[in-house]
């Protein structure tokens, strides 16, 4: 079995990684941890100081790469065949493209539980993947509904 686990390095990441590890152990699965390192549009300030902006983004991407590598190392130490992927693309499109390229059996993604106004204004990655994916998708709630 091959699993693509989509992580955003928020507090939800730990929940997604733990559930993915459980599945991987049960099915002797290969796991890819996918993080999309797109900068937030309001954080890109190339007009103000392009050199500082590039340096800041490079530092952020390096840190994110280190974080996903550490997560992959942790899963490997648990006996799970794991690779870390850092991409720079439209989030839903990059998830579906990687899933297709890797020919995965399942996509694991978290749901933050944002309200309808947020989803209307910003969109929901989990909903986009769920509606457009030709692969089975496991959506893990990562928020407290209590």
Walk along the chain (146 residues) and give the pLDDT tens digit of each residue. Answer: 999 999 988 888 999 999 999 999 999 999 999 998 765 544 445 556 677 777 877 788 889 899 999 999 999 999 999 999 998 877 899 999 999 999 999 999 988 654 444 344 334 788 889 889 999 999 888 766 55
* CA separation for the pair 69, 73 (Å, rounded): 6
At the topology level of CATH, where does 2-141 sit?
Rossmann fold (3.40.50)
* CA separation for the pair 144, 141 (Å, rounded): 8
**Class of residue 72 by CB neighbours under 10 A (exposed 0-12, middle 13-18, buried 19+):** buried
Alpha-carbon dihedral sign for residues 139, 1, 101, 13: positive
- The dihedrals phi and psi of 142, each to the nearest 5 degrees, come to -115, 15
């Amino acid at each position: 079995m091959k699993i693509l686990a989509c992580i955003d390095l928020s507090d939800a990441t730990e929940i997604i990684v733990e559930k993915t590890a459980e599945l991987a152990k049960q099915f002797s699965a290969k796991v890819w941890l996918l993080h999309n390192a797109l900068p937030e549009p309001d954080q890109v300030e190339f007009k103000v100081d392009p050199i500082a902006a590039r340096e800041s983004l490079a530092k952020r991407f390096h840190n994110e790469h280190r974080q996903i590598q550490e997560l992959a190392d942790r899963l490997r130490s648990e006996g799970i065949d794991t690779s870390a992927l850092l991409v720079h693309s439209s989030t839903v499109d990059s998830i579906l493209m990687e899933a297709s390229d890797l020919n995965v059996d399942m996509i694991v993604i978290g749901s933050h539980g944002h309200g309808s106004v947020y989803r209307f204004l910003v969109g929901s990655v989990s909903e986009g993947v769920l509606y457009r994916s030709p692969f089975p998708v496991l959506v893990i709630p990562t928020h407290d509904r209590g």
